[in-house]
Amino acid sequence: MTLEHAMPTASNSEPIDSRTIRSICRAIGEKLQQSLPLDNPRLPDRLEQLLAEMRRRDGQK
C-alpha cells in the first residue's frame, strides 16, 4: 500500500503530496513512541484494531 492510498482525501479537499504524508506519518510515529510506556510493549486496543484493519485492507489489494 502506498502512503497516498493510506490517506484518502475528502471529495472537496485537495490531495496531500507524498512528502507531506511521510512527514505526518513520521511525526505521528514519534509522538506514539513518546506517549507509549516502554515497560508495557502491548499497544492500546484501538491501535491494535486499526493495525488489523490496515493489514486486512493490504491483503485485499
Q: What is the pLDDT of residues 12-25, one digit of tens each?
A: 788 889 999 999 99
Check: CB of residue 9 under 8 Å from CB of residue 16: yes
Q: How confident is residue 9, by pLDDT bands cut at 50, 70 and 90? A: low
H/E stretch holding 30 reads: helix 18-35
pLDDT at 5: 53
Q: What residue numbers bound the domain in which 37 lies?
A: 3-60
Contact at 8 Å (CB) between 20 and 4? no
The answer, yes or no, to whether residue 1 has pLDDT greater than 50, is no
Q: How many domains does the chain fold into?
A: 1
